[in-house]
Structure 1
Amino acid sequence: MPHTPEPDEDDDLDRVPAPKPVHYAEQALLGALLLEPARLADTEPLIAQHFDSHTHAALFTAIRTLPPPDPADHAKDTAWLNSVLEHARPHAPGLNASYLHALIQFCPLPKHTAAYARMIRADNARRVLRAHAERLASTASDPGLPNPVASVLGMADDISRVLDALAAQFAPHPGSFPRTPLPPDVPRPASKEEDLAEERLLLATATAYPAEVRQMRWLTEADFLLPLHAALWQSITTLVHRGDMVDPITVLGEAQHRGLLTGTLTPKDLMDLVSTPAGSPEYWGEKILGRALLAHAQTVAARFTAYTDDLANTPHQLVTGSRRALADLNSLRTRWMRATAPAPAPAESQPARRGQPPRATRPPPQSALLSPRAHR
């Protein structure tokens, strides 16, 4: 029977990830403060929450909390170091005196404390932005939220405020846009029949009520899940904005000119697709735009993550790239606000013009009662 070699302990050590640069910056800063406590003034506005290591954060808190020692006394004994250890150990049980002395030995130059502090704050900015990206992606993909679009837009506002705060903390510099290769857009699954059915209902109601389509410039082809539906929407809106007559036959003609008829999509299939209206175009359009906004929020979150994973990016590059990604989401926000803006108050009733019948109204379908517009 062949002998199976035992795993080498060195192989296990090779699998342990190497410490990040901020780990060494934290060690150097703490070593500087333990050696020369008066250097604490050079760390502002650093706080314990900026540290990546919990143990280092506990040490920094202890250093900030205890009164600094007299420099002459500190040079002769370890009383203050013992007090720091005693104060920090309840929050970091594995901490010992030998580690404090190792930190002191590790610090290259205590006079560089301010530079070490900036490195720690820069890494914290990276982690903060990444955490916001994870929450944004999680919120945009959570099917259980009662109003996911509002939640996502609220998180986008939070991220914008975070970016403003970071921009004020870190100075700009040339070449401020990151060169990080961006990930592809998060794919939008088109497998949910309910979502595809809503797109078909939009096409049918838009064909039946083209006058309402003229006010729906907030919906674009990119918002659709299925390319065929996007192309048919473009066919319908082209007819509407040209002032042409719109019905299933004229939509068929426009679709033919766009090369949409194939062996799998016959003229009858296409006309059936746009011939069964229900509800209003605006209602279905809002649902389609809302899904597109949530999908794009996931793409924006992926871009944030890509920027934060690239350690070559400075804090200012993170802010610049993230703001540009957020601007793409805000463009959808603008269209969403136009789509869901309260309808203008009806004008006072006026007599119909001579020879013009009063405008007919149609009751909303039961499904339209679920529309956000129905509650405004």
Structure 2
Amino acid sequence: MTYAPEPDEDDLDLVSAPKPVHYAEQALLGALLLEPARLADTEPLIAHHFDSHTHAALFTAIRTLPPPDPAHHAKDTAWLNAVLKHARPHAPGLNAPYLHHLIQFCPQAKHAAAYAKIIRADNARRILRGHAERLASTATDPGLPNPAASTLGLADDIGRVLDSLSEQFAPHPGSLPRTALPADVPRQADEEDLDEERLLLATATAYPAEVQQMRWLTEADFLLPLHAVLWQSITALVHRSDMVDPVTVLGEAQHRGLLTDSLTPKDLMALVSTPAGSPEYWGERILKRALLARAQTVAARITAYTDDPANTPHQLITGSRRALADLNALRTRWNRATTPAPSPVGRSSARAGQPPRATSPPLQPTLPASRAHR
């Protein structure tokens, strides 16, 4: 049966084609208006689960008012009038014809529990999508004083939501989503970011002893592939307990195929020869950028899952947990990097006056960007 809503029916005046949940809400409300005792079959459904504000107001009225005597309810509309009166202050567009339409639309009042489950499933989808949007927004907000902590806090919120949803929706076979995932969010590199990577490479070459404690930083965290391979070269020397200086880094880089016509040995040595600050400081900044970029990718994946109507609630839960696992792996490295460690004993007096890790040292002249990108 087709229903043409009145112009003033709030969110019942749908511009686009209604989603499946719209019809589930109509069917459920029709069942409850027809047989109010069916309300007991809808637990744990609450008004917040409804997509339509008007439907939520009507459901609240049904839950609030005492159920009528079934025999009396079959003969008159007194209870329906009371429900309408209770709901209209919160949804002015409601009217008696729409209530009668809901009753006529409902296929089977005894299926109220199934309609409620559809509504709860759609609400789970909307909740997850909202959390993913907040995660993406926070990870890209340059004005936050501590974006990493804020981002990880929102990731924890998503984890708690998934735990809650897993208690509400039973698992089933074939629970992995088949949604085609979007590509990783591109990482934009400005010159300041690349300068920080160059400074890390130079300070790591100058102070290799500290690199031994920086296993929390990997080549995947770098923006520029050249810098990633140079970091591999430096860490390989350190972990083999070999001598580390610009010349030995050059030798290791040569074995890794870094030298080209556009990147000469002199260029490469210049790239790792101007230290400033400490390796830990620059490493933490690089890792933080990687953490925020990973959070954006996780948010995009969860959003893709929620946008795919073919996914069941359990598939949403399973896919979202897998996405979060990628972020949690990076979180573990971030925690290692930012956990205060005892002051090293016997640190060279030449570094006694260097700025602390919490303060950025001034940038020093480095290899020109046009050469470093090649």
For 1:368 and 1:110, the matched residues in 2 are separated by 66
1:10-89 → structure 2 map (5 Å cutoff): 16-89=15-88
2:318 to 312, 320, 336: 320
- 1:174 alignment counterpart: 173
The residue aligned with 1:272 is 270
Kindly provide the amino acid, as one letter, of the partner of residue 96 in structure 2. A
Q: Contact 2:27/2:107 (CA < 8 Å) preserved in 1?
A: yes
Alignment gaps of 5+ in structure 1: 1-14, 348-357, 372-376
Task: Give the equivalent residue in structure 2 for 1:283.
Answer: 281
- 1:212 equivalent to 2:200? Answer no
> Which residue is 2:139 aligned to?
140
Cα separation, 2, equivalents of 1:304 and 1:369? 33
Q: 1:184 maps to which residue?
A: 183
Distance (Å, rounded) in 2 between the aligned partners of 1:135 and 1:263? 46
**Distance in 2 between the 1:34 and 1:139 partners?**
43
**d(CA) in 1 for partners of 2:161 and 2:263?**
49
Per-residue Cα deviation, 1:83-128 (whole angstroms, up to 9, x for no partner): 1111111111111110000000000000000000000000000000
Q: 1:196 matched to which residue of 2?
A: 194
Deviation digits for residues 208-231 of structure 1 (CA, Å, limit 9, x no counterpart): 001111111110000001111101
The superposition leaves residues 319-360 of structure 1 with CA deviations (integer Å, 9 ceiling, x where unpaired) of: 11100110110000000011111113678xxxxxxxxxx653
TM-score, normalised via structure 2 length: 0.90
- Give the alignment partner of residue 222 of structure 2, picking from 224, 231, 245: 224
Cα separation, 2, equivalents of 1:41 and 1:63: 12
The number of aligned residues is 346
Q: Determine the structure 1 residue equivalent to 2:247.
A: 249
Report the TM-score when normalising by structure 1: 0.90
Name 1:11's counterpart in structure 2. none
Q: In the TM superposition, what is the alpha-carbon distance from 1:365 to its structure 2 partner? A: 2.9
> Partners of 1:367 and 1:273 in 2: how far apart?
23
Q: Return the alpha-carbon distance in structure 2 between the equivalents of residues 317 and 153 of structure 1.
A: 23
> What residue is the counterpart of 1:12 in the other structure?
none
Secondary structure at 1:236's aligned position in 2?
helix
Q: How many percent identity over aligned positions?
A: 83
CA 1:364–1:149: 2 relative to 1, 3 Å: farther
State the one-letter code of the partner of 1:265.
L
SS, match of residue 185 in structure 2: coil
Q: Aligned to 2:335, which of 337, 341, 348?
A: 337
Partner of 2:372: none
Matched AA of 2:53: H
Residue by residue, what CA displacement relative to the aligned partner does 1:9-45 show, whole Å, maximum 9, x if unpaired? Answer: xxxxxx9531111000000000000000010101110
- Cα distance in 2 for residues equivalent to 1:367 and 1:229: 24
Q: 2:281·2:358 contact (CA, 8 Å) conserved in 1?
A: no
Q: Structure 1's 359 and 312: CA in aligned 2 closer, same or farther, altered over 3 A?
A: closer
The residue type equivalent to 1:163 in the other structure is L
CA contact (8 A) 1:280 1:364 kept: no
CA distance in 2, matches of 1:203, 1:286: 13
Which segment drifts farther, 336-345 or 169-178? Answer: 336-345
1:182 and 1:369 map into 2 onto residues whose CA distance is 37
8 A Cα contact 2:202 2:275, kept in partner: yes
Residue 351 of structure 1 corresponds to none
CA distance in 1, matches of 2:88, 2:50: 17
Q: Could you tell me which amino acid in structure 2 is paired with residue 232 of structure 1?
A: L
CA RMSD after TM alignment: 1.4
CA distance in 2, matches of 1:108, 1:286: 60
Residue of structure 1 in register with 2:363 after alignment: none
Which residue type is aligned with residue 77 of structure 2? T
Q: After TM superposition, give the deviation of residue 244 of structure 1 in Å.
A: 1.2
Structure 1 segment 118-137 matched on structure 2, within 5 A:
118-137=117-136
Partner Cα distance (2:129, 2:295) in 1? 14
Letter in 2 for 1:370: T
Match of 1:236 among 213, 234, 237: 234
Q: Aligned equivalents of 1:64 and 1:38: distance in 2?
A: 10
8 Å contact kept, 1:279–1:364: no
Distance 1:232 1:313 in 2: 43
Aligned-partner Cα distance in 2 for 1:363–1:176: 57
| Kept after mapping to 2: 8 A contact 1:28/1:103 | yes
Amino acid at match of 2:88: R
Task: Give the superposition deviation at 1:368.
Answer: 3.5
| Corresponding letter in the other structure for 2:115 | Y
For 1:264 and 1:88, the matched residues in 2 are separated by: 73
Pairing 1:108–2:97 present = no
One-letter identity of the residue aligned with 2:290: A
Q: Which runs of 5+ in 2 are unaligned?
A: 1-13, 361-374
Residue 6 of structure 2 corresponds to which residue in structure 1? none
CA distance in 2, matches of 1:252, 1:189: 28
For the residues of structure 1 that align with 2:116 and 2:139, how far apart are their CA atoms?
A: 35
Q: Do 1:29 and 1:113's aligned partners in 2 also have CA atoms closer than 8 Å?
A: yes
